[in-house]
Structure 1
Amino acid sequence: MDSFIGIRFKKETAKRFQEFSRTHFKSHTEAMATMLDFFFYNEISPKEKLGPTGQTIEAKLLKRINAVIAIMRDVEKTQTKPTVAMIQSLFQTEEPDHKPLILEKKFVEKNKQVKIQEKRNQNNKL
């Protein structure tokens, strides 16, 4: 049987350790051995911070996911949809209705005659 040794702790610390040990381990010795093994095998110091908690990591991931979603929506609006519309318009087989241009030859000739007549009328009035 192993022998025991007494270690002096402050009363508050000893009570905290006893409560922790009772909830997670069978004995205080097993609790202390497991904690020491944890720090030894993971090569960390109990005074080191392990980094952000799970909640802060989750919050950061959600922010990044929302940013990626916003980027994808922007790409869809500015690049994908206009490109698809242009490609579809290229492959349409229907020809648009032919509208006469404003400056077609017939229209220009009619307007010239009218303008000349108006000027003549104005000269005659003077």
Structure 2
Amino acid sequence: MDSFITIRFKRKTAKRFQEFSKKHFKTHTETMEAILDFFFYNEISPKEKLGPTGRTIEAKLLKRINAVIAIMRDVEKTQTKPTVAMIQSLFETEQPSKKPLIVEKKYAEEKKKVRFREKQNLNNDL
């Protein structure tokens, strides 16, 4: 059996360690070994920060997603909808209004009806 050694901690720190140890491990020795192994194998120092937390990453992602949504809506308003409207107007078929045909003047004059005619006298010719 291994021998024990006494290490002095402040009361507040010792209480935190005991609560953590009871929650995750069977003994305080196992807890301390796991903590030391974690820092050794991951080659990190307990004093350095590991980077952004999950909450900050989530907040940044939500901001970027909202920005992408805004960009997509802007593209839809300024590019997609007008383009669709133009294409639809090209494919819509309207019946052309009936316009009178343009006829040249010389043909128009030939077709005019004569309104007055001279009377022919049959007696004068005899």
The answer to whether 1:36 aligns with 2:36 is yes
Q: Secondary structure at the match of 1:2?
A: coil
Aligned counterparts of 2:37 and 2:50: Cα–Cα separation in 1: 17
Which residue number corresponds to residue 27 of structure 2? Answer: 27
Write the deviation string for residues 69-109 of structure 1: whole angstroms up to 9, x where unpaired.
1100000000001111111112223255479xxxxxxxxxx
- Whichever residue aligns with residue 37 of structure 1, its letter is D
TM-score normalised by structure 2 residue count: 0.70
Aligned counterparts of 1:77 and 1:8: Cα–Cα separation in 2: 68
Which aligned runs of 4 or more in structure 1 are off by greater than 3 angstroms?
Answer: 95-99
The answer to whether 1:49 aligns with 2:39 is no
Name the CA shift for 1:97/1:59 in 2 (closer, same or farther; >3 Å): farther
Which residue number corresponds to residue 62 of structure 1? Answer: 62
**Larger helix fraction of residues:** 1
Name the CA shift for 1:95/1:11 in 2 (closer, same or farther; >3 Å): same
Write the deviation string for residues 19-67 of structure 1: whole angstroms up to 9, x where unpaired.
1111111110111111111111211100011222222221111111111
Which residue number corresponds to residue 5 of structure 2? Answer: 5
Shift of 1:8: 2.1
- Name the larger-Rg structure: 2
- Whichever residue aligns with residue 67 of structure 1, its letter is A
Q: Which runs of 5+ in 2 are unaligned?
A: 100-126
How high is the sequence identity, in percent, across the aligned residues? 85
Name the CA shift for 1:96/1:22 in 2 (closer, same or farther; >3 Å): farther
TM-score normalised by structure 1 residue count: 0.70
Name the CA shift for 1:17/1:95 in 2 (closer, same or farther; >3 Å): same
Name the CA shift for 1:60/1:12 in 2 (closer, same or farther; >3 Å): same
Q: Secondary structure at the match of 2:40?
A: helix
Q: Secondary structure at the match of 1:63?
A: helix
Name the CA shift for 1:2/1:98 in 2 (closer, same or farther; >3 Å): farther
Aligned counterparts of 1:43 and 1:27: Cα–Cα separation in 2: 25
Q: Which runs of 5+ in 1 are unaligned?
A: 100-126
Aligned counterparts of 1:49 and 1:96: Cα–Cα separation in 2: 75
